[in-house]
Chains A and B, each alone.
Chain A
Amino acid sequence: MAPPEGLDGGAEVRLQALTKTFGPVVAVRDVSVTIDRGSFFTLLGPSGSGKTTTLMMVAGFAHPTSGDVFVDGKPMAALPPQKRDLGMVFQSYAVFPHLTVYENVAFPLQIRKAPRLEIVHRVAEALELVRLTGYERRLPRQLSGGEQQRVALARALVFRPRVLLMDEPLGALDKKLRAHMQLELKHIQQRLHVTVIYVTHDQEEALTMSDRVAVMQSGRIEQVGTPAELYDRPGSRFVADFLGESNFLDAVVVAAEHDGRWRCRAAGGLEFSGMAAAALSAGQPVTAAVRPEKLVPADEPGAAALGASANTCKGMVEEAIYVGDVTRYRVGLGADGAVVIKMPNRVGSRPPSTGAALALAWSPEDTRLFPRASA
């Protein structure tokens, strides 16, 4: 199915200084971001981070205390939800239990008083899109959770909104089905070129589906970027921790090096280099974050590729946890603490044994430094 006419590009959505307070509690604080037309944008954060409230302000179910939402430049503040023409999929599916699948999907078209023949045609098209052809006469209670969610999706897309809002739509599904639906959603979005704003607390889901992700915490956007940018260059300790896994080492800046690199020393005397987003000063306390898979044993071929400027350390394997495709090792670094490393279980790989000494190497590029309040 080609993108239906009138949908090319979806709409551009701009959140401008959105703020929402409930009494003394600030749920959303000064959120500004522009979402490109036809892109898949995700608001990612733990519960209570304000991501759902932000989405509800876009949908019109919550009114901003200040700021506004612009869809293709048009301010939304004065419009009730039913006048915004945005599709929405809820976590609870919200499929009408008293209507059949056909009636559910036809609902927005009937409200818009579309001609009968067009309704028949468009409902069929929407059901085909979510692969529910043949389910027209069933009632929601005869459907599985995944099927109900697809009805909700068809219903939200059938009137060809230029923006589709999704509030943790896959939260209630089991892991396998969720992974399947993630790809299906992504494909549908790409096919229709609709702008999607997606809310989730699942970082894996955010990385899999999104063109861009905004990580939220305590009502603010911590960082916006592509999944790779956020993962490889987290802008704060929170992002490094929330998105994927990180090893954290407390250290103190020793000196500036070239190209935005800084030399640091950990409490136990370990010296290493890392990258910081903003200038640091000697003596400043920092936290260094390194992804587990970026730490490699020094005797592996990958370590040699890091070159002479690589960080190195020596430790001892304290614990090995086998998780199928990879094994995770906890490597003790003496007074500097411990790090977790992740090694794929490839053919011919020689896994280190518990208690063995292990030298590790990693790149300064993969070491992110965040200032921390002195301990």
Chain B
Amino acid sequence: MTSVEERREQRRHLLALAPALVVLTVLFVYPLLGIVTRSVYKSGYTLDLYRQIFRVPVYLQVLGGTFKVSALVTLVCLLLGYPLAYVLATRRPRTAQLLMIIIVLPFFTSIIVRTYAWMVLLGRNGIVNEYLMALHLTAAPLPLLYNQAGVVIGMTYVLLPYMILTLYSVMRGIDPGLVRAAHSLGASRLQAFRRVFLPLSLPGIAGGTLLVFILSLGFFITPALMGGPGDMMIAMLIEREVEITLNWAFASALAVVLLALTLVGFVGYNRIVRLERIFEGRG
């Protein structure tokens, strides 16, 4: 290809990107700058609000709790999602398609409706507890709602499809011939999985956990409805500052801290699992 053609090609690509870039600039970059400005400007630049966040223990507790719940949800999603994605990716396409529709189906209903449904299921007199007691598995109702367990159950339910879809897309790309080759070389099913399939699915694990973790950090509706007073997450704190306290500057500062910590987490994660090497390692 000549350089002129190449440049023309590049220009075409840029043109294709333009609408997305415009939308992102107007709806994302510009407001973000506004948030950052609001958090440091109050008749003169100041970092007072940030000092407040890091000095008052309750804010740090909420931040720590947010990260803890997010990590827990991510782990549970991975443990539940991996076997499911594995089955999807290794079954015949027709079966996989059907299962995939079932997995994606919940996306078609409102998250609030689904969260209320969970509340009906998990409450003290909810269906789950009634069955458990009817079967004499528990003597008293288990506390499944308005605590961390409720938050983790609810969030896992909402975020699981993201994990499955990410894992599935990577697993689908793994040549089944490689697993066959491992068998032909003497590997048992477990050995073939551990030494060939699992390492090749790492990009999916990395991508899926990252996606679910970041989505968890900013989660609002589920923890608000299914958590107890002690399960406040940072998004709820921000909402309170915006809606009730009307302290938008402080809400902005909290939002910036969340964003910064997420970025730090991402960079640290990248260091540990070296994403680009994993993604590049395929094929």
Q: Which residues of A contact B (CB under 8 A)?
A: 59-61, 80-82, 85-88, 90, 92, 94-98, 107-108, 111-112, 139, 141, 152, 155-156, 159, 165
Q: In the assembly, what is the distance between CA of A88 and CA of B178, in Å?
A: 12
By Cβ-Cβ distance, the 3 closest A-B pairs, closest first, are A94-B181, A88-B184, A108-B185
- Interchain CB contact under 8 A, A156 and B195: no
- Interchain CB contact under 8 A, A159 and B185: yes
- The answer, among A60, A87, A107, for a CB contact under 8 Å with B182, is A107
Closest Cβ–Cβ distance, residue B57 to chain A (whole Å): 46
Residues of B within 8 Å of A95, CB to CB, are: 181
- Interchain CB contact under 8 A, A94 and B199: no
Interface flag for B183 (CB, 8 Å): yes
What residue of chain B has the Cβ atom nearest to residue A94's Cβ? B181
- Interchain CB contact under 8 A, B175 and A94: yes
Closest Cβ–Cβ distance, residue B239 to chain A (whole Å): 44
Interface flag for B44 (CB, 8 Å): no
Q: Which residues of B contact A (CB under 8 A)?
A: 175, 177-178, 180-188, 191-192, 195-196, 199-200, 281-283
Apart from A82-B188, A88-B185, A94-B175, list 6 A-B contacts with CB within 8 A: A85-B186, A86-B184, A96-B181, A107-B195, A141-B283, A159-B186
- Interchain CB contact under 8 A, A97 and B180: no
Residues of A within 8 Å of B281, CB to CB, are: 97-98, 139
Provided the pairs A92-B177, A94-B178, A97-B283 are in contact, do residues A155 and B199 lie with their beta carbons within 8 angstroms? no
Closest Cβ–Cβ distance, residue A239 to chain B (whole Å): 31
Residues of A within 8 Å of B188, CB to CB, are: 82
- Interchain CB contact under 8 A, B185 and A156: yes
Residues of A within 8 Å of B177, CB to CB, are: 90, 92, 94
Q: In the assembly, what is the distance between CA of A107 and CA of B196, in Å?
A: 10
Closest Cβ–Cβ distance, residue A111 to chain B (whole Å): 5
Residues of A within 8 Å of B185, CB to CB, are: 82, 88, 107-108, 111, 155-156, 159
Residues of B within 8 Å of A165, CB to CB, are: 184
Provided the pairs A90-B177, A92-B177 are in contact, do residues A81 and B183 lie with their beta carbons within 8 angstroms? yes
Q: In the assembly, what is the distance between CA of A61 and CA of B181, in Å?
A: 10
- The answer, among A85, A96, A111, A139, for a CB contact under 8 Å with B191, is A111
Residues of A within 8 Å of B200, CB to CB, are: 97-98
Closest Cβ–Cβ distance, residue B116 to chain A (whole Å): 45
- Interchain CB contact under 8 A, B186 and A82: yes
Provided the pairs A90-B180, A92-B177, A98-B200 are in contact, do residues A108 and B283 lie with their beta carbons within 8 angstroms? no
Provided the pairs A97-B200, A97-B281 are in contact, do residues A90 and B187 lie with their beta carbons within 8 angstroms? no
Q: In the assembly, what is the distance between CA of A233 and CA of B184, in Å?
A: 37
- Interchain CB contact under 8 A, B181 and A111: no
What residue of chain B has the Cβ atom nearest to residue A141's Cβ? B283
What residue of chain B has the Cβ atom nearest to residue A91's Cβ? B177
- Interchain CB contact under 8 A, A82 and B178: no
Q: In the assembly, what is the distance between CA of A156 and CA of B181, in Å?
A: 9
- The answer, among B180, B192, B199, for a CB contact under 8 Å with A98, is B199
Residues of B within 8 Å of A81, CB to CB, are: 180, 183-184
Residues of B within 8 Å of A90, CB to CB, are: 177, 180-181
What residue of chain B has the Cβ atom nearest to residue A155's Cβ? B185
Residues of B within 8 Å of A107, CB to CB, are: 182, 185, 187, 195
Closest Cβ–Cβ distance, residue B234 to chain A (whole Å): 37
Q: In the assembly, what is the distance between CA of A155 and CA of B184, in Å?
A: 10
Provided the pairs A94-B175, A107-B195 are in contact, do residues A82 and B180 lie with their beta carbons within 8 angstroms? no
Closest Cβ–Cβ distance, residue A344 to chain B (whole Å): 43
- Interchain CB contact under 8 A, B195 and A80: no
- Interchain CB contact under 8 A, A61 and B191: no
Closest Cβ–Cβ distance, residue B174 to chain A (whole Å): 9
Residues of B within 8 Å of A85, CB to CB, are: 186
What residue of chain A has the Cβ atom nearest to residue B202's Cβ? A98
Residues of B within 8 Å of A108, CB to CB, are: 185-186
